Amino acid sequence: MKRLSIIIPTLNEAEGIVATLESLGGLRHRGHEVIVVDGGSSDGTASLAQDLADRVLAASAGRAGQMNAGARAAAGDVLLFLHADSRLPDDVDRLVLQGLAAGGLAWGRFDVRIAGSHSLLRLVEAMMNLRSRLTHICTGDQCIFVRREAFDAVGGYPGQALMEDIGISARLRRLSAPLCLRQRCLTSARRWESQGVLRTVILMWWLRLQYALGAAPARLARGYRTRGH
């Protein structure tokens, strides 16, 4: 049987990590693997994850490096990268494994649903899902998954401080189009709600534009953090 490795990078996620990992219990029961890669949490995240994951690893903070570390330790045929504040469909293993096999594709992602009632969030998620179908560039919120051999072939996530999801999408789309599953993963609205939905949308589009124009990811990451994200 083909096996998934679900890799979760964490940094101070104590508030929600138990619920996230408990939601993956059925997948573990079916033989799939859950790996948490902690970036030096000070709130006990790693300890909380210990009994609810197959492996809990330590790595330097930085989502790209953490996900690459998890991939190196993974035993699965397909790697799935999950944010700590996101939830997968119950039948994720069937959707991913059968979908990739049927299409002969190297990678893919889910449509996303953003938790929260703000009307602008419905527009944000619709635009995210449409944009990735048109451009074959996917975001981490969409729970990117990739065959192990394809991940290795492109060198994993680029070692950059921001936009690592765009970076790996650009690498992977040279191998194949993504499998764009219409089933939805659910992600927290905290990134948008903490600074206001409209303000966050404008910021993210500005950062993406700057990245496309060649701005250094490290400089963009500093600007992102100074705005409270």
Domain-wise residue ranges, the chain:
4-193
Q: Domain 4-193, CATH 3.90.550.10 — does that match?
A: yes
Nearest C-alpha neighbor of 188 from the set 15, 43, 27: 15
**Lowest-pLDDT range of 19-28, 120-129, 205-214:** 205-214
Lowest mean pLDDT, pick from 91-105, 135-149, 214-228? 214-228
pLDDT exceeds 50 at position 120: yes
More confident residue, 200 or 45: 45
What is the pLDDT at residue 112? Answer: 97
Given this model, what pLDDT does residue 207 score? 77
From the centroid of its chain, how far is CA 226?
22
Which of 41, 59, 45, 50 lies closest to 15 in space, CA to CA? 45
Tell me, what's the pLDDT at 223?
A: 63
Show contacts of 31-34: CB within 8 Å, 24+ apart. 31/1, 31/3, 32/3, 32/4, 32/5, 32/6, 32/76, 32/93, 33/3, 33/4, 33/5, 33/6, 33/74, 33/75, 33/76, 34/5, 34/6, 34/8
Mean pLDDT of 50-77: 97
Q: Which residues contact 66 (CB under 8 A, 6 or more apart)?
A: 9, 10, 37, 38, 39, 59, 60
What pLDDT score was predicted for residue 229? 46
Neighbours of 147 (CB within 10 A): 22
Looking at residues 157-166, what average pLDDT do you find?
90
What stretch of H or E contains 217?
Answer: helix 217-226
Query: Cα–Cα distance between 114 and 126 in angstroms, integer?
Result: 10
Q: Angle at CA 74, nearest 5°, toward 71 and 78?
A: 80
Res 47 pLDDT > 50 = yes
Tell me: pLDDT of 128 over 50.
yes
Percentage of the residues of the chain whose pLDDT score is greater than 90: 77
pTM value? 0.92
Contact 208, 163 (CB under 8 A): yes
